[in-house]
Amino acid sequence: MDRWLAGTLIMLTGALPLGGCGRSGAPDPATARGRMALAELPGLRASADQGLQAELALTQQQQGLPLQLAPAEVSRTAAGSKPKSIEQLQRAFPPLSRGLVRGPLDGVYRGGPLNFSPVQLERSRELVRKHAAACKQFRAALPVQPGGYGLRLCDGTLADLSFLEPLDLGCRLESVAAAVLLADNLPDDAVPHLATLLTTARVLAAEPNVTTRVAAANIRGDALHVLAAIAGHDRCTAEMHQRLFDLLSEQTADWPADSHAWIGDRAAGMLTYELVREGHYLSLLAADEVAQLQSQQVALVTAQAAVRNIDADERFYLQAIRQLIDASQQPFFERRDILAQLRRSLHEKEQSSDYPLVAGKLLLADFETAQRRQAEDFARCQAWMLALGTALGHEVPAAANPLTGSPYSLERTPLLVKVTAVLPDRDEPCLVPLPPPRAARR
């Protein structure tokens, strides 16, 4: 899985003919009108499967259908036009020139801690100077409230997620700019770059889309590495620690329920089944998967099998995603058994005639990773709030790590506050050096 979840930036437009021509007169998903027609779920509503209809009725009752998450009237108003923020992001980093930005940027910073060598710092200075105008445009383009990236992010594969690429470039350049300022002993000037990253993560995390939720976790992870570098800087004062604490508290106060992204994922999954019913199964697979099926001379029969078993497949998916949504109301450590049970169910069906091809190969291929990333994101933020709050002498309520169910490990000495037991497999301690008394009074 890559930074944005593998394959999510591949748009269906232009790829759909691979799966077959579909039914004559069927909605064309490459058009706004066709996507709206699919959002009505005509194939699902016409199914004679009673169990499937029961799942449809339950989802409708829970206000989880595509047109309930993004009403048709609103969507049709915006049909054919992109949100202003996306247009501005495209102008800041035009598609044709992104490679010229990405190459040098990859050589300096791909994400993670701000551990730059002297040579990387000099290259970073040049990147910041060269792309100063683009970064200014980038910051001006960023929405500060959910919904700024489009109205139909619950459309899954049909959603326009092209903005994630310039967003990645801009956010990484924000981290690089912060690293340069820290190297120049200007930690206070690095805070606005941190604020940009945290705001971007907050807005993305609020969308009903698993891909943007994982993207938000990636950006916020990088933001917390910037925060760590600021908090640990020699010139960081107690007043600056308070500023970091307030900023992180503000940008994480309205934390969305984990289930919100999966409710959007369910709506997206229902649209995927509509595409499969129209004969587009192969278009939804990765290119290497299609090539493998073609080399085995089973591509056509695989697509036919997906359509033939579509009702049972979709029924399995809706029942499984309902379990995921319900489980997401609990802390991650309490839902792990449910996730494992669902994976076992898929494995057991893999060699049987009723294996759900769409659910197993497309929609539930890697749900554990996205679920875990949500929990890691929350755990990191909790741990940093605990570390900063303790350093400032605040009464910080004790909280269990959502990944493990155990308390974080907190250590305070006259020189340092240290929080560990954050990530079970690769701990990332939160370290806040305590400034000397004179620096603390400044």
Per-residue pLDDT of 234-271, as tens digits, reads 999 999 999 999 999 999 999 999 999 999 999 999 99
**Is residue 33 in some structural domain?**
yes
| Contact (Cβ atoms closer than 8 angstroms) between residue 149 and residue 163 | yes
Is 80 exceeded by the pLDDT of residue 15?
Answer: no
Give the span between the Cα atoms of 20 and 307, in whole angstroms: 12
| pTM confidence score | 0.90
Per-residue model confidence (pLDDT) at position 156: 75
**Element (DSSP H or E) covering residue 368:** helix 367-391
**Is residue 138 in some structural domain?**
no
Q: What is the mean pLDDT of residues 381-400?
A: 92
In Å, how far are 222, 236, 308, 391, 428 from 431, measured between CA atoms? 16, 13, 56, 10, 9
Tell me the pLDDT of the chain averaged across its residues.
89
**Is residue 122 in some structural domain?**
no
**Is residue 194 in some structural domain?**
no
Residues with Cβ within 8 Å of 431's Cβ and at least 6 positions away in sequence, in order, are 228, 231, 232, 387, 416, 417, 418
Answer with the residue of higher pLDDT: 437 or 364: 364
> Phi/psi of residue 125, each to 5°?
-60, -40
Per-residue pLDDT of 194-223, as tens digits, reads 999 999 999 999 999 999 999 999 999 999
**Is residue 274 in some structural domain?**
yes
Is residue 26 very low, low, confident or very high in pLDDT (cuts 50, 70, 90)? low
Q: Amino acid letter at 31?
A: T
**Is residue 383 in some structural domain?**
no
Range of the domain at 264: 16-76+259-371
Is residue 13 very low, low, confident or very high in pLDDT (cuts 50, 70, 90)? very low
Greatest Cα-to-Cα distance within the chain, rounded to the nearest angstrom: 78
**Is residue 306 in some structural domain?**
yes
**Is residue 298 in some structural domain?**
yes
Per-residue model confidence (pLDDT) at position 154: 75
| Contact (Cβ atoms closer than 8 angstroms) between residue 116 and residue 124 | yes
Nearest to 316 by CA among 281, 278, 361, 261: 361
Number of domains forming the structure of the chain: 1
